[in-house]
Amino acid sequence: MPNLPDVVLWSIPAFVLLTVVEAVSYRFHPDADEVGYRSGDTATSLTMGLGSLFFDAGWRVPIALAYSALYAVAPWHLPVNAWTLGPMLLAQDFCYYWQHRCHHVVRVLWASHVVHHSSRNYNLSTALRQPWTGATSWVFYLPMVLAGVHPAALAFCSGVSLVYQFFLHTERVDRLPRPVELVFNTPSHHRVHHASQGGYLDRNFGGILIVWDRLFGSFTPETVRPVYGLTKNLESYNPLRVATHEYASIARDVAAARSWADKVRHLAKGPGWQPAAAPAAAAVAATPAVPSISPEGTTAC
């Protein structure tokens, strides 16, 4: 088994220190255009981050067992060294792009990922606002394990990506030099990803690299100032509600669905999907006296 460090665990002191430094910087160098920190929001983000460490420890055992079983039947096992870690990190970043994109456009996956987008602030503490149901991501990395990547090497690459993305969650950094912005995910690109405006929704899914978004048509540059949060914001700092509110919403929609097909669509379609109105309701909605509001559309995974 390769002896690789837990880069996330080792980075926690830096996460805390840099978050404090950024928060203090707003006090001494405020910017009227930047949201900064709010005590309730920051407390919720920190609580969600601590909770995710606890829940991820529980999910880690069955996931590790599944990865180990698949690795055992892989046709070959790749060595883990300085020459192979680079390509492994590139492959992990590619898989992460599709994992992240699908978590935005499949509602049952979005129910987990929505936690990370639920803050209307954008700062380093937002990076720590992680879901407690992160076990929805592991299936996207099965091709790497079946291709012979050791599960410990995959965990290391995922940790490197997570640490890199921590530094993207800031408004204190403007655009970086053009070659960097062209290839890598940057704070500017990731601010777009966290915005709730229509033109910014479901864009810039990359982890370390932004080239996947450029290749697969999901890239949008930062032009107008982002408005952070959800299209329908959660008016609560309660961590339990933050962690579960979308699951509760799905349960209500599934219970109210008129057919089994619609029940499945509420799980598999995008967050804004709603079934077509019944013919009688559609006729009433078409009259000028009762205008209707169409649900938001989403891109396809």
Please check the confidence at residue 83 and state whether its pLDDT lies above 50: yes
For residue 276, what pLDDT band results from cuts at 50, 70 and 90? confident
pLDDT at position 289 is: 44
Which has the minimum average pLDDT: 55-59, 63-67, 87-91, 277-281?
A: 277-281
Task: Check residues 278 and 247 and name the one with the higher pLDDT.
Answer: 247
Rounded distance between C-alpha atoms, residue 35 and residue 17, angstroms = 20
Task: Check residues 135 and 208 and name the one with the higher pLDDT.
Answer: 208
Rounded distance between C-alpha atoms, residue 199 and residue 126, angstroms = 22
Tell me the domain boundaries of the chain: 7-241
- Give bridge partners of residue 195 from the DSSP assignment: 228
**Overall average pLDDT of the 150-161 stretch:** 96
- The 10s digit of each residue's pLDDT in 176-220 is 999 999 999 999 999 999 999 989 999 999 999 999 999 999 999
Task: Check residues 59 and 67 and name the one with the higher pLDDT.
Answer: 67
Rounded distance between C-alpha atoms, residue 22 and residue 241, angstroms = 27
Rounded distance between C-alpha atoms, residue 99 and residue 50, angstroms = 23
**Overall average pLDDT of the 121-145 stretch:** 93
Which has the minimum average pLDDT: 91-105, 129-143, 164-178?
A: 129-143
Task: Check residues 269 and 57 and name the one with the higher pLDDT.
Answer: 269
What's the chain's average pLDDT? 90
User: CA of 124: how far to CAs of 88, 101, 165, 286, in Å?
Assistant: 27, 22, 10, 47
φ, ψ at 230 (rounded to 5°): -105, 165
Nearest Cα residue to 185 out of 218, 157, 207, 201? 207
Please check the confidence at residue 7 and state whether its pLDDT lies above 50: yes
Using a cut of 0.95, tell me whether the model's pTM lies above it.
no
Rounded distance between C-alpha atoms, residue 263 and residue 254, angstroms = 5
**Overall average pLDDT of the 55-61 stretch:** 88
Of 51-60, 174-183, 266-275, which one has max mean pLDDT? 174-183
φ, ψ at 50 (rounded to 5°): -65, -40
List alpha helices for 106-256, DSSP H: 107-117, 124-127, 142-146, 151-166, 178-183, 187-193, 211-215, 239-256
User: CA of 36: how far to CAs of 17, 39, 171, 198, in Å?
Assistant: 16, 10, 8, 23
